[in-house]
Amino acid sequence: MPKEHVDTRNLQVHGIPEQHDSLQPTSDNVTLVVTQAFGPGGDNLAGYSDVKFNGYPAVTLLLRTPDGREGLVHLSPIHGDKRKTGFTDIAPGTRCELLCPVTKRPLDKLGPVDDGSGATYYALYLTPKLSKGHAVAVTDLWDHFHSRIVDDEAVISYWAQTHAL
């Protein structure tokens, strides 16, 4: 029996048939895929490059390290999937400046991560309206896997972990 597929604006919730060691599914039958991610100027960063993960366009950010190095990093759009490519020669725990690759503007700050790491959340908006109530919250510490998906002011990534479709 095929797994259920729900497409709400720019989130796809469905099963992904391929298995990867780095893919941490939120449950046996729910996987969240970000298909749109807007920077602070309204530019869609999903599909900015030709990089894909499991056939889905990567979300691309411009990263700047404290020593002044910078480059594009392509993140898997599959929530919980730690894969990334591009500018990845960065020591774990390095605080990076997160920028839009189109405008070079810093991503909008959302607030601190409450895990004691000192990391800060930044917004990748889920709609062109650029609402903090509809965003993927990514952190500024390299290899600190604490992103959250917020939709209608609710943490949907938490909901997906606790509910089966």
- Summarised one tens digit per residue, pLDDT across range 144-162 is 887 787 776 444 444 444 4
Residue 28 confidence (pLDDT): 54
Burial of 7 (0-12, 13-18, 19+ CB in 10 A): exposed
Binned at pLDDT 50, 70 and 90, residue 14 comes out as very low
DSSP symbol at 161: H
Binned at pLDDT 50, 70 and 90, residue 1 comes out as very low
Distances in Å between the Cα of 132 and the Cα atoms of 6, 11, 112, 154, 156 are 22, 16, 14, 11, 13
Distance CA 50, CA 131 (A): 27
Distance CA 32, CA 12 (A): 6
Distance CA 120, CA 95 (A): 9
Distance CA 115, CA 112 (A): 9
Binned at pLDDT 50, 70 and 90, residue 16 comes out as very low
Residue 124 confidence (pLDDT): 96
Residues 92-125 pLDDT 10s: 999 999 999 999 999 999 999 988 999 999 999 9
CB atoms within 10 A of CB 19: 7
